[in-house]
């Protein structure tokens, strides 16, 4: 028996798996109790509510008339399969393999590459903006020499704009092959990209592509610092 495809994207998130495991062990929990046991603080109730709603909508958990939450029959079976998978390392992997078989792997890799590029540019751009505002130099150690480079806020803004555009394009590419997933889920699914492509028989090609993209990113950032 394997985990249904419909549930794979739901249980891909560690917070949701934790909630399912808590309900499996405690049978029923009130909202506040479940929030605390799941490791969320009161200030993170919005995030917790988001994951709880995803589980409710999936049919893995339900709310009882007394307000408490518990697993449905499907939820119980899913947690049991997950725990079996932790023991033999096969159930969740085989389920994810089947999921990857029905997606366009080339587009999936392209989308995730664009997401990675966008995220790097956004992060570096924000760092540049902060350093530019504070007039703090970037220190680079090159052999025995220490190089200090000052970056401008305008360079940081340019990188942020480019990163946002590339990120949006990447999300658009992924949305076409995975229309049922939300933006946050697409971002979360990045961590499974190598697992998916490793089952395609083109792993070396894709890894080489990632290396080329990494070199290009480093070259672009280096030029941004120098110019």
Q: Which residues neighbour 109 within 8 Å (Cβ) at sequence distance 6 or greater? A: 193, 197, 206, 209
pLDDT of residue 160: 93
Give the end of a domain, one of 100, 116, 141. Answer: 100
pLDDT of residue 2: 46
Both 69 and 108 in a single domain?
no
Both 21 and 129 in a single domain?
no
Both 110 and 86 in a single domain?
no
Residues 161, 183: Cα–Cα separation, whole Å:
19
pTM of the model: 0.54
Domain that holds residue 203: 104-226
- Number of independent structural domains in the chain: 2
Both 91 and 143 in a single domain?
no
Both 126 and 35 in a single domain?
no
Residues 151, 66: Cα–Cα separation, whole Å:
59
pLDDT of residue 121: 92
pLDDT of residue 90: 47
Residues of the chain with pLDDT under 50: 1-2, 87-91
Residues 35, 52: Cα–Cα separation, whole Å:
9
């Amino acid at each position: 028996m394997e985990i249904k495809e419909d549930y794979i994207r739901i249980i891909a998130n560690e917070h949701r798996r934790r909630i399912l495991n808590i309900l499996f062990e405690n049978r029923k929990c009130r909202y506040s109790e479940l929030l605390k046991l799941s490791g969320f603080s009161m200030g993170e109730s919005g995030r917790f509510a988001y994951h709880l709603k995803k589980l409710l909508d999936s049919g893995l958990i339900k709310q009882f008339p007394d307000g408490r939450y518990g697993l449905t029959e499907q939820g119980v079976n899913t947690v049991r399969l997950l725990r079996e998978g932790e023991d033999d390392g096969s159930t969740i992997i085989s389920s994810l393999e089947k999921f990857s078989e029905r997606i366009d792997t080339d587009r999936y890799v392209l989308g995730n590459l664009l997401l990675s590029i966008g995220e790097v540019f956004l992060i570096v751009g924000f760092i540049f903006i902060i350093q530019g505002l504070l007039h703090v130099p970037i220190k680079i150690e090159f052999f025995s020499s220490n190089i200090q480079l000052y970056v401008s806020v305008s360079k940081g803004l340019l990188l942020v704009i480019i990163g946002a555009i590339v990120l949006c394009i990447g999300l658009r590419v992924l949305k076409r092959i995975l229309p049922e997933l939300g933006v946050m889920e697409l971002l979360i699914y990045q961590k499974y990209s190598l697992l998916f492509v490793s089952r395609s028989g083109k792993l070396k090609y894709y890894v080489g592509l990632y290396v080329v993209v990494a070199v290009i990113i480093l070259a672009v950032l280096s030029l941004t610092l120098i110019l």
